[in-house]
Chains A and B, each alone.
Chain A
Amino acid sequence: MLLFILKRLAQVVPVIFGVTLVVFLIMQMVPGDPAIIMAGEGASTETVEQLREDLGLNEPLHVQYFSYIGNILQGSLGNSLKNNQPVLDEILIRLPITMELAFFSILITIVLGLTAGIISAVKPYSVSDISVMVVALLGISLPSFWLGLLLMYTFSIKLQWLPVAGWDSFAHIILPAITLGAGGAAIVARMTRSSMLEVIGQDYVRTARAKGLKEHTIIYKHALRNALIPVITVVGLQFGSLLGGTVIVESVFAINGLGRMIVDAIRTRDIPMVQGGVLVASLVFVFVNLLVDVMYKVFNKRIDLN
């Protein structure tokens, strides 16, 4: 197990190289000159040229890239082009907010998804099953920016139960977390349902019935634990799209998280900020994947991680 974790950690290095390279090249290809944006619309050519020189933008691409990597290895993500503050400081302020949002979203994904999936699978093709699956279909189909606005309109503006936007109290977390977690919950629900139905049809569930076990015990102790394995995969993958989703949800609900930071940085061509933000988001995703693989081992004795 330990050997497996170490191996996986070693794999992080090439992944990070790839991520930085891709983001670096994309930012080079995006139209718009950061120096012009920084200097402002009416700035003179000399000012812009001076800025370019100061920022190192006139160096050849590979020199720029390797000096960036060199800085990362020294623990620096560079300074923001916008306010010249260290990128890392900004990320350390923003990351906890996004992680909090992601945590509650994934919680909603798991709790809501599993419950709905189990309800569906216990009585397949019943009214409860069909209604749950219709809601799940809606959950998958609704885009999060629309769902977010809809929830905001209903619960904040009409009913005035919850705050509209911002990030001050627990009440602020509820709507964004639901918005972000809904799609995942729907996918998890459908996955749980099909996985449960498959397991319930197995002979060992029949054996458990023939033993005289209570239906409750059969569902939770025998069927669910075996049905969870594919569900864990889906939850792990869901976390990736969830990180992507924070970009939209944070913008809709005006939350100053990492996602919104990256969007703002892209808009102002703040290259170090974008690179730093994406790098940290990728690291989080890589570690979540590692966690998922370790969970497999815990839930499925047949998987040999090495």
Chain B
Amino acid sequence: MNTLLSSKKPILKVSNLKQYFIVKREALFQPKQVVKAVDGISFDLYPGETLSIVGESGCGKSTTGRSILHLDEPTEGEILYKDVSLTEMSKKELRNIRGDIQVIFQDPFASLNPRRTIRQMLDEAMAIQKVLPPKQREARMLELMQNVGLRPEYLERYPHEFSGGQRQRIGIARALAVNPKVIICDEAVSALDVSIQAQILNLLKRLQNDFDLTFLFISHDLSIVKHISDRVMVMYLGKIVEISDKASLFKNPLHPYTKALLSAIPVIDQTIKRERILLKGDVPSPLNPPTGCRFHTRCPFATDLCRDEEPLLRELESGHLVACHFAEKLSAI
């Protein structure tokens, strides 16, 4: 897998991406506060793969997705799509390229306009990105409905007439309508029942094969990540702490935070004994992140070095990167 990836050129290259938000002052003379939602992350996304971003809520995973889409203008950093910088594009150029990178949101109730029929949604998407001339769109719409497992007569219906799973299928059909290369799935199945989650995940996998899609899969659910990913990226407080291919990460997590996360995956088989690593305290506020390694306040192995010096993301094994001063020592534990 790693050799395969390194031989390919990344379809999306994110370098030193920062996304800061200014928080409204609570008192008149209070200095303006800045939330560093994403604070300097770099990673590559390779064509055809599924890269998952995992982490607790507030770690910056959704913000990363939105910054790539330029739904929020990134504060700093560069996003290259097929070697072209999205950050430097004019608004018009950006609009034209939007068809290539699509998004599926978490809440299928909120992500569809309640006043438009499915036909209007799909048709509009194709019209803007000039995917097909009007006459050929009808056939394409029927094909899309079939692709996501919805009946063609549903085209005339409004979103409120569907169940959660069906709506998410509509969201997927809408994303597919513009022939995207990359789809950012922002917690795309989190709002669904487990049985429906499985259906949608399998649908996504099938579509990935059929249409040669690349997924950036944002999730907090490690079981799902384990099922769908090729590679996994773990984020904590706006930073990447570990990034690796799935097998290596789940078998041999190097960062203490990843270890703690993995130990939290529920296991159905009661006979399997395992040690749970319980982290103490809450995630520190991104308004005022800890110095040095951001995880040191909750890390059972933290030393003075961790408090003072921020660990860099470094490649410990081939394709397995980690940001921890003591990763070598800890991997033995």
Task: State in angstroms the CA–CA spacing of A214 and B66 once bound together.
Answer: 18
Q: Is A222's CB under 8 angstroms from B114's CB?
A: no
Given A212-B128, A301-B158: A207 in contact with B114 (beta carbons within 8 A) = no
Task: State in angstroms the CA–CA spacing of A234 and B141 once bound together.
Answer: 39
How many chain A residues touch B (CB < 8 A): the figure is 19
B-chain residues with CB within 8 Å of residue A302 when the two chains form the complex: 114, 158, 160
Q: Is A211's CB under 8 angstroms from B124's CB?
A: yes
Question: A205's closest neighbor in chain B, by CB?
Answer: B113
Task: State in angstroms the CA–CA spacing of A72 and B98 once bound together.
Answer: 66
In chain A, positions 220-240 with a C-beta closer than 8 Å to chain B are: 222, 225-226
Stretch at the interface among B42-50, B101-109, B228-236, B238-246: B101-109
Q: Is B111's CB under 8 angstroms from A207's CB?
A: yes
State the main secondary structure of chain A at its contact with B: helix
Task: State in angstroms the CA–CA spacing of A107 and B113 once bound together.
Answer: 28
Q: Chain A nearest CB: distance from B94 CB in Å? A: 8
Q: Is A212's CB under 8 angstroms from B158's CB?
A: no
In chain A, positions 222-265 with a C-beta closer than 8 Å to chain B are: 222, 225-226
Q: Is A203's CB under 8 angstroms from B98's CB?
A: no
Q: Is B128's CB under 8 angstroms from A203's CB?
A: no
Q: Chain B nearest CB: distance from A138 CB in Å? A: 24
Interface membership of B276, Cβ < 8 A: no
In chain B, positions 146-201 with a C-beta closer than 8 Å to chain A are: 158, 160, 171, 174, 178
Given A212-B98, A226-B114, A301-B158: A206 in contact with B129 (beta carbons within 8 A) = no
Task: State in angstroms the CA–CA spacing of A174 and B226 once bound together.
Answer: 69
Question: B101's closest neighbor in chain A, by CB?
Answer: A210
B-chain residues with CB within 8 Å of residue A301 when the two chains form the complex: 114-115, 158, 160
Interface string of A196-211 (1 = CB under 8 A from B): 0000001110111111
A-chain residues with CB within 8 Å of residue B216 when the two chains form the complex: none
Interface membership of A213, Cβ < 8 A: yes
Q: Is B71's CB under 8 angstroms from A210's CB?
A: yes
B-chain residues with CB within 8 Å of residue A71 when the two chains form the complex: none
Most buried by B among A203, A210, A222, A301: A210
A-chain residues with CB within 8 Å of residue B129 when the two chains form the complex: 211-212
Interface membership of A300, Cβ < 8 A: yes
Q: Chain B nearest CB: distance from A58 CB in Å? A: 62
Residue in contact with A210 in the complex, picked from B96, B102, B107, B158, CB distance below 8 Å = B102
Q: Is B103's CB under 8 angstroms from A226's CB?
A: no
Q: Is A208's CB under 8 angstroms from B113's CB?
A: yes
Given A206-B105, A301-B160: A211 in contact with B125 (beta carbons within 8 A) = yes
Interface membership of B110, Cβ < 8 A: yes
Q: Is B99's CB under 8 angstroms from A226's CB?
A: no
How many chain B residues touch A (CB < 8 A): the figure is 30
Task: State in angstroms the CA–CA spacing of A204 and B95 once bound together.
Answer: 17
Interface string of B202-215 (1 = CB under 8 A from A): 00000000000000
In chain B, positions 83-106 with a C-beta closer than 8 Å to chain A are: 94-99, 101-103, 105-106
Task: State in angstroms the CA–CA spacing of A207 and B160 once bound together.
Answer: 17
Interface membership of B54, Cβ < 8 A: no
Task: State in angstroms the CA–CA spacing of A208 and B110 once bound together.
Answer: 12
Question: A125's closest neighbor in chain B, by CB?
Answer: B24
A-chain residues with CB within 8 Å of residue B105 when the two chains form the complex: 203, 206-207
A-chain residues with CB within 8 Å of residue B69 when the two chains form the complex: 210
Interface membership of B112, Cβ < 8 A: yes
Interface string of B17-35 (1 = CB under 8 A from A): 0000000000000000000
Task: State in angstroms the CA–CA spacing of A203 and B110 once bound together.
Answer: 5
Task: State in angstroms the CA–CA spacing of A207 and B65 once bound together.
Answer: 13
Task: State in angstroms the CA–CA spacing of A29 and B111 once bound together.
Answer: 58
Q: Is B110's CB under 8 angstroms from A204's CB?
A: yes
Residue in contact with B103 in the complex, picked from A202, A206, A213, A300, CB distance below 8 Å = A206
Task: State in angstroms the CA–CA spacing of A226 and B115 once bound together.
Answer: 7
Q: Is B158's CB under 8 angstroms from A211's CB?
A: no
Q: Chain A nearest CB: distance from B34 CB in Å? A: 17
Interface string of B101-144 (1 = CB under 8 A from A): 11101110011111100000000110011000000000000000
Task: State in angstroms the CA–CA spacing of A302 and B105 once bound together.
Answer: 22
Q: Lowest 4 CB-CB distances: which A-B pairs, in order?
A: A212-B98, A203-B111, A212-B95, A203-B110
| Sample of 14 more A-B contacts, CB < 8 Å, known A208-B113, A210-B101, A213-B95 | A203-B105, A203-B106, A203-B110, A204-B114, A206-B103, A207-B103, A207-B113, A210-B98, A212-B98, A214-B95, A225-B115, A300-B115, A301-B158, A302-B114
28 CB contacts below 8 A, A to B, read A202-B110, A202-B111, A203-B106, A203-B110, A203-B111, A204-B113, A204-B114, A206-B105, A207-B103, A207-B105, A207-B111, A207-B171, A208-B113, A210-B101, A211-B128, A211-B129, A211-B178, A212-B94, A212-B95, A212-B128, A212-B178, A213-B95, A214-B95, A222-B113, A225-B115, A226-B114, A301-B115, A301-B160
